[in-house]
Structure 1
Amino acid sequence: MSSVGAGALLEVLRAWPEAPRDAMPVDAQALVSAAARHGLAGFVQHALGRSGLTLDEPVRTSLRREALAQAARGMRVKTLLMRSLDALAAVGVVPVLLKGYGLALRLYPEPLQRATTDVDLLVADAEVGKASSALVGLGLRPLGEAAAAHARAHEHHLTFTGAAGMVELHFRALVGYGQTLEAEALLARAEEAVLEGRRVRYLRAEDELVYLAIHASNHLLQRLAWLFDLKLRVLASPGVDWGRVVEVARGTAFPHLAWYALEAAQRLVGAPVPQEVLAALAPPAWQRRMAARFFTLGGCWRRS
């Protein structure tokens, strides 16, 4: 992906909820390619349409095609999500929705404007058995016995796949860098909600900010959508308790991972993260210098 395309996409994301300040880049197709690569084709189409900026017909057609393809994939995932929720409800399990459609529904102008590829559900460890059986009942294939045993001991989710798509059943929030983010406290603080008549739960705002930040850094900030999610999550919760965010991050094994993503979200897409929060979570200077190399994808995200 070109730095031109990445730069143009960053301008759109930084400006939101206002219109982009600059005219379209000379290589508008690079913007379309970047938007598709980062799972934001639908959102970029919406943002440019609202701004009144116009694209040449070939580029506009390309963006529309990418947005429609993304939406079609999103509808497929949503269908599987609803079926999964119904199956879990039948055995008395109300999961926490992680990322995906549930997040996009709450943060984006329209949920299908953000790409999603699978269903991520978080349940208590004691619920894994009956939740797994419910998902198998949908025709999804579980991991083999040995792989499932390894996942239960060393990973944070079990994977179920089939013609309808993929469900990741999380029993830990995250495992990475030899550390684990357990789920019990997050589940205890999760908030009840309703999604199209179905009971669901979402992480509390402070917990979700930390989780999203750690998840993004654990995957080396490979998608700008993950940073933009953080910006939108902050904007959606103007009363967020930043002291609690720091406390939650420090209470995990990954406080520096939270800093990497929150700092990048502030710097690159304009997320309103207070400077004192970043200072409280910042790793040593040498780690910050290393982050400038490893969390910029070859310099595409680097800004002065």
Structure 2
Amino acid sequence: MGARALLDVLRAWPEAPVGPVPQDVEAFVHAAARHGLAGFVQHALGRSGWRLEEPVRTRLRREALAQAARGMRVKVLLLRSLDALAQVGVVPVLLKGHGLAVRLYPEPLQRATTDVDLLVADAEVAPASRVLEGLRLKPLAEEAAAHAREHEHHLTFSGAAGLVELHFRALVGYGQALEADALLARAQEAVLEGRRVRYLRAEDELVYLALHASNHLLQRLSWLFDLKLLMRAHPGLDWGRVVEVARGTAFPHLAWYALDAARRLVGAPVPEETLAALAPPSWQRMMAARFFTAERLLETELMNHKPAWVVAKLLLAPRLLPMARYTARRLREDGLAALRARFVSSP
């Protein structure tokens, strides 16, 4: 039952968790690290009456420091990317990552961040790509980039400094796309360490984060906790607009899956009427209840079992036909990639 204590901490926040110290503290610390929340949990426990024994405390501190070191590396790359983009007049929308953590968490490095996600208008992709390459970040090969522009939502730039994902769509998932134009038009200007940035409007950001989490089958609890923190940061959130935004996408079901799980598992203040307005058919609600139990999400069960992942995606899809086509294409591409790799590695 140690891992479930992570949910107790997240559900209780901003209050301290109640009850005794979890019996299996090793499982508790492992779950915090697995879900990208070691730094936050260390902070939260400082406000509680829980006292972990020294070996466990040391492990939690080590995990939190490693997470913070990775986050600092991503932050440095983010600031370099913003400086480079400013030279060509591009002010991106910051998605997830450090830009989210700096607004929602007690300290931004308390939330795990692995890469830089930037959303730009379609016309800005070419100049943005050039300046990112100028940071010694390697772009996708021409064929892969052409494929990404047609089928995916971002181009990838990677190098010794880390990974930047340059989004030209907000999301592609379940065989369907969420284009960026309307989101960009409503985005709000802000400043991050002296640099111009933009963030999605609160209602748009809530829907986007929910869609992103469900697109990855809620396999990181920090994504659900982000939703709770965003709601707490915006007590005047217009829930009617949230419903309108979600219904305006191709995947309102995905918003429901994440919002429902955030309410059940981490105590996010989602109104009942919002869930009712976005609810998928009853059989999909039943499937979600089975796939997204506390135990299965804590163990990232779907992430570790590819056949179950594919089944869950098909059963939870807003529309089966686009998802089936997408799955068939991915399986075909994966098969061809495996075949090419086999021939390349053959003597």
Q: If the length of structure 1 is used for normalisation, what is the TM-score?
A: 0.97
What letter corresponds to residue 21 of structure 1 in structure 2?
V
Between 285-294 and 192-201, report the one with greater CA deviation: 285-294
**Cα distance, 1:115 vs structure 2:** 0.2
Contact 2:2 / 2:23 at 8 angstroms: preserved in 1?
no
Aligned counterparts, 1:46-61, within 5 A: 46-61=43-58
**Deviation readout 1:38-87 (Å, 9 max, x if unpaired):** 00000000000112321100010000000000000000000000000000
1:88 pairs with 75, 85, 88, which one? 85
SS in 2 for 1:238: coil
What letter corresponds to residue 78 of structure 2 in structure 1?
L
**Cα distance, 1:206 vs structure 2:** 0.1
Aligned counterparts, 1:279-290, within 5 A: 279-290=276-287
Distance 2:26 2:85 in 1: 43
Distance 1:198 1:160 in 2: 21
Aligned counterparts, 1:47-196, within 5 A: 47-196=44-193
**Cα distance, 1:297 vs structure 2:** 7.6
- Which residue of structure 2 lines up, in the alignment, with residue 294 of structure 1? 291
Distance 1:297 1:219 in 2: 16
SS in 1 for 2:164: strand
**Deviation readout 1:234-257 (Å, 9 max, x if unpaired):** 000000000000000000001000
Distance 2:84 2:73 in 1: 17
**Cα distance, 1:294 vs structure 2:** 2.6
Contact 1:191 / 1:203 at 8 angstroms: preserved in 2?
yes
What letter corresponds to residue 7 of structure 1 in structure 2?
R
Distance 1:189 1:221 in 2: 26
Contact 1:268 / 1:301 at 8 angstroms: preserved in 2?
no
Distance 2:75 2:245 in 1: 30
What letter corresponds to residue 271 of structure 1 in structure 2?
A
**Cα distance, 1:5 vs structure 2:** 3.6
What letter corresponds to residue 34 of structure 2 in structure 1?
R
Contact 1:5 / 1:33 at 8 angstroms: preserved in 2?
no
Q: Does 1:20 align with 2:10?
A: no
SS in 1 for 2:197: strand
Question: Mind listing any 5+ residue stretches in structure 2 that lack a counterpart?
Answer: 300-347
Contact 2:221 / 2:297 at 8 angstroms: preserved in 1?
no
Question: Mind listing any 5+ residue stretches in structure 1 that lack a counterpart?
Answer: none
Distance 2:297 2:34 in 1: 13
Contact 2:83 / 2:195 at 8 angstroms: preserved in 1?
yes
Q: If the length of structure 2 is used for normalisation, what is the TM-score?
A: 0.85
What letter corresponds to residue 237 of structure 1 in structure 2?
H
- Which residue of structure 1 lines up, in the alignment, with residue 342 of structure 2? none
- Which residue of structure 2 lines up, in the alignment, with residue 265 of structure 1? 262
Between 99-108 and 24-33, report the one with greater CA deviation: 24-33
Contact 2:118 / 2:166 at 8 angstroms: preserved in 1?
yes
Between 21-30 and 91-100, report the one with greater CA deviation: 21-30
Percent identical across equivalent pairs?
Answer: 82
- Which residue of structure 1 lines up, in the alignment, with residue 38 of structure 2? 41
Aligned counterparts, 1:236-255, within 5 A: 236-255=233-252
What letter corresponds to residue 91 of structure 1 in structure 2?
V
Contact 1:135 / 1:160 at 8 angstroms: preserved in 2?
yes
Segments of 4+ in structure 1 off by > 2 A?
A: 293-302
**Cα distance, 1:23 vs structure 2:** 1.6
What letter corresponds to residue 293 of structure 1 in structure 2?
R
Contact 1:6 / 1:300 at 8 angstroms: preserved in 2?
no
**Cα distance, 1:300 vs structure 2:** 4.8
What letter corresponds to residue 255 of structure 2 in structure 1?
A
Paired residue total: 299
**Deviation readout 1:113-164 (Å, 9 max, x if unpaired):** 0000000000000000000001000000000000000000110000000000
Contact 1:222 / 1:297 at 8 angstroms: preserved in 2?
no
Of structures 1 and 2, the larger Rg is shown by 2
Distance 1:5 1:141 in 2: 42
**Cα distance, 1:295 vs structure 2:** 2.8
Distance 1:214 1:5 in 2: 29
